Amino acid sequence: MKIWSRIVGTIYILMGIFFVFCLLSFFSNENLCESFINFIKNNLYKVEIFATIVLIIGIIYVVNWIDYIYRTKAISFDNPSGKVRVSLKAIKDSITTTILKEIDGIKTIKVKTFVTPKGLETKINLKLFSNLNIPDICSNIQELKKIIFKTQLELKGYQI
């Protein structure tokens, strides 16, 4: 995806520079504008083919980008019984409900889950009531998160 993005980005940057150069040239010389229009009229099919190719590349890029976004919204792994997909929303909801059930004193909780090259990462943002022991709550949440992931993976047939 990174190489494809760079190739498409480079093509569109070069085309943008070309069009800006053409527009600046048109404002400085009116004869150039007329010769450019004549060039397009004489080579209309070549211009149409070029525009179609650029449009197809753009559409392919958008489709690949949407596919990439979709693939990063879930985790897939192979299980002895077959392939398993777990959505990040399900993981987020599981962490949220477990923490709210097990720990008292939480005003609000926001859990974000995302996939990085290192693996699954979660960020938990809490608002707590006053007079609570923050280090103890943080260690309890970290232990709960480990237990949640261990339980979910064991349910899917993996031994940890």
pLDDT, tens digit (0-9, with 9 covering 90-100), for 123-158: 888 888 888 888 888 888 888 877 776 655 555 444
Residue 118 has pLDDT above 80, yes or no: no
Alpha-carbon distance values, 133 to 49, 95, 106 (Å)? 68, 21, 12
Q: What is the mean pLDDT of residues 102-116?
A: 84
The string of pLDDT tens digits covering residues 52-85 is: 988 888 888 888 778 777 666 777 777 777 877 7
Cβ partners under 8 Å of residue 95, min gap 6: 111, 113, 122, 124, 144, 145, 148
Q: Are residues 25 and 88 in the same domain?
A: no
Q: Are residues 67 and 133 in the same domain?
A: no
Whether 47 maps to a domain, the answer reads yes
Q: Are residues 95 and 40 in the same domain?
A: no
Whether 35 maps to a domain, the answer reads yes
- d(CA 7, CA 61) in angstroms, rounded, equals 10
Quick one: pLDDT at residue 150?
Answer: 65
Task: Report CA 82 to chain centroid distance, whole Å.
Answer: 26
- Dihedral sign for Cα 25, 28, 29, 30, please: positive
- d(CA 23, CA 103) in angstroms, rounded, equals 64
Q: What is the mean pLDDT of residues 93-114?
A: 85
Residue 120, CB-side half-sphere exposure with 13 Å CA sphere: 18
One-letter amino acid at 5 equals: S
Q: Are residues 84 and 50 in the same domain?
A: no
Quick one: pLDDT at residue 5?
Answer: 75
Whether 42 maps to a domain, the answer reads yes
Residue 109 has pLDDT above 60, yes or no: yes
- Among 71, 97, 124, residue at a domain's last position: 71
Kindly report the CATH number assigned to the domain that includes residue 113: 3.30.70
Whether 160 maps to a domain, the answer reads no
Q: Are residues 53 and 84 in the same domain?
A: no
Top pLDDT among 111 and 31 is at: 111
% of the chain beyond a pLDDT of 90: 2
- Among 24, 47, 71, residue at a domain's last position: 71
> Where in the sequence is the domain holding 110, given as residue range(s)?
80-155
Q: Which residue in 53, 134, 148, 131 sits closest to 97, CA to CA?
A: 148
Quick one: pLDDT at residue 159?
Answer: 42
Q: Are residues 85 and 139 in the same domain?
A: yes
Tell me the sheet residues that pair with 106. 128
- Counting the structural domains of the chain, the total is 2
Whether 103 maps to a domain, the answer reads yes
